[in-house]
């Protein structure tokens, strides 16, 4: 048990320790894990071990290397990441990393280069990474992280040992949330299995706001179709997360309409809401609105300055333009 890690990371960590103990750590690894799973914490632990002067499997925390890492001044540890959130990693940053890779270790050990958000490498940058991975410099370890391996050049993936963060179980998440003082209901735990740390940041996620959004959406989608303004306000307040909840609710509705049992739904505690919506919105409207929602989410995440409330209102209006009532 590594107490610096989240409970869902212990499995990958144990496997890493086995490889480290065997003395066959590869020159490049790729960790595929959603950005809200704390993947940086995991790679940081690994970098500490690789650079530690006293231990092969667990950083001692006492040596010169461990002290420098703690102080954030280790000369053999380099990180590459997009300069701004949502932006790509440019080729210049990778060229700089490649120069570090060719240098001699300043502490006489190895060098570690961590490329965060490898899925955001621009084309030239990805080719520059590939060139180094094809002829890895001696004593240099590359740690790459990505949301998904699908977004990377297959030639980069094939040159790395790939590790995937297994999906976090709702039970583990609920238990962890309890320890963090979060009042999670099990629906919320199921909604955040892919990126649990979102529950900690200030993204407007709480059991109350989630329940309120569900209540207002449910009310608006049933005769007499009232409360559009409140619904828009609640969704705007909950931001990207509110739209994500709508996506999951509509996915559950679709599953219900197709006869998929509630064990496979996100909303199991709120299954009455799922059934109520499913009885008032036709399947073809659900599918069309899921597609429209995806476009709305993408537009709002890519462009700032859009009229969010107007766009949400337009999306909600589309429900009534379709054949809303089930005959
Ligand atoms: Zn150490």
- Residue 184 confidence (pLDDT): 78
Q: pLDDT category, 203, cuts 50, 70, 90?
A: low
Q: pLDDT category, 327, cuts 50, 70, 90?
A: very low
187/41 Cα distance (integer angstroms): 26
101/53 Cα distance (integer angstroms): 19
Q: How far is the CA of 80 from the centre of ligand 1 (A)?
A: 23
79/193 Cα distance (integer angstroms): 27
Q: How far is the CA of 130 from the centre of ligand 1 (A)?
A: 31
Task: For residue 326, tell me if it sits in a domain.
Answer: no
CATH of the domain at 300: 1.20.272.10
Q: Which structure tokens are listed for 81? A: 């990441």
- Residue 204 confidence (pLDDT): 62
Task: For residue 237, tell me if it sits in a domain.
Answer: yes
Number of domains comprising the chain: 3
Q: How far is the CA of 109 from the centre of ligand 1 (A)?
A: 12
Range of the domain at 79: 7-164
Q: How far is the CA of 62 from the centre of ligand 1 (A)?
A: 5
Q: How far is the CA of 310 from the centre of ligand 1 (A)?
A: 55
Say if residue 38 is in the same domain as residue 134: yes
CATH of the domain at 87: 3.40.50.300
Return the half-sphere exposure (C-beta side, CA atoms, 13 A cut-off) of residue 224. Answer: 0
Say if residue 179 is in the same domain as residue 238: no
Say if residue 19 is in the same domain as residue 140: yes
Say if residue 127 is in the same domain as residue 26: yes
Task: For residue 1, tell me if it sits in a domain.
Answer: no
Predicted TM-score of the model (pTM): 0.82
Query: Which residue carries 């890492």 as its tokens?
Result: 69
Residue 322: pLDDT over 80: no
Q: How far is the CA of 66 from the centre of ligand 1 (A)?
A: 4
Q: How far is the CA of 274 from the centre of ligand 1 (A)?
A: 53
Q: pLDDT category, 177, cuts 50, 70, 90?
A: confident
Residues in the 5 Å CB sphere of ion ligand 1: 52, 54, 60, 63, 66
């Amino acid at each position: 048990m590594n107490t610096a890690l989240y409970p869902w990371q212990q499995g990958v960590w144990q496997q890493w320790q086995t490889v480290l103990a065997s003395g066959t750590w590869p020159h490049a690894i790729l960790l595929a894990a959603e950005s809200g799973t704390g993947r940086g914490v995991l790679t940081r632990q690994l970098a500490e071990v690789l650079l530690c002067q006293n231990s092969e499997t667990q950083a001692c925390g006492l040596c010169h290397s461990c002290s420098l890492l703690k102080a954030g001044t280790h000369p053999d540890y380099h990180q590459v990441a997009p300069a701004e959130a949502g932006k790509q990693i440019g080729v210049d940053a990778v060229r700089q990393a490649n120069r570090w890779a060719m240098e001699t270790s300043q502490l006489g050990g190895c060098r570690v280069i961590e490329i965060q958000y490898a899925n955001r490498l621009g084309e030239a940058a990805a080719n520059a990474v590939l060139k180094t991975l094809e002829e890895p410099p001696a004593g240099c370890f590359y740690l790459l992280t990505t949301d998904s391996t699908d977004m990377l050049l297959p030639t980069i993936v094939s040159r790395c040992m790939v590790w995937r963060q297994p999906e976090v179980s709702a039970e583990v998440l609920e238990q962890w949330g309890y320890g963090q003082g979060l009042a999670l209901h099990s629906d919320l735990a199921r909604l955040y299995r892919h990126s649990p740390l979102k529950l900690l940041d200030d993204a407007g996620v709480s059991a109350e706001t989630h329940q309120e959004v569900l209540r207002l959406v449910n009310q608006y989608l049933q005769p007499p179709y009232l409360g559009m303004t409140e619904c828009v306000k609640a969704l705007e307040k909950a931001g990207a997360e509110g739209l994500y909840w709508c996506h999951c609710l509509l996915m559950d509705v679709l599953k219900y309409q197709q006869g998929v049992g509630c064990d496979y739904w996100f909303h199991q505690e709120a299954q009455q809401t799922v059934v109520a919506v499913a009885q008032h919105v036709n399947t073809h409207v659900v599918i069309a609105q899921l597609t429209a929602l995806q476009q709305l989410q993408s537009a709002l995440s890519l462009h700032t300055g859009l009229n969010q409330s107007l766009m949400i209102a337009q999306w909600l209006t589309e429900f009534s333009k379709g054949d809303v009532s089930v005959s």
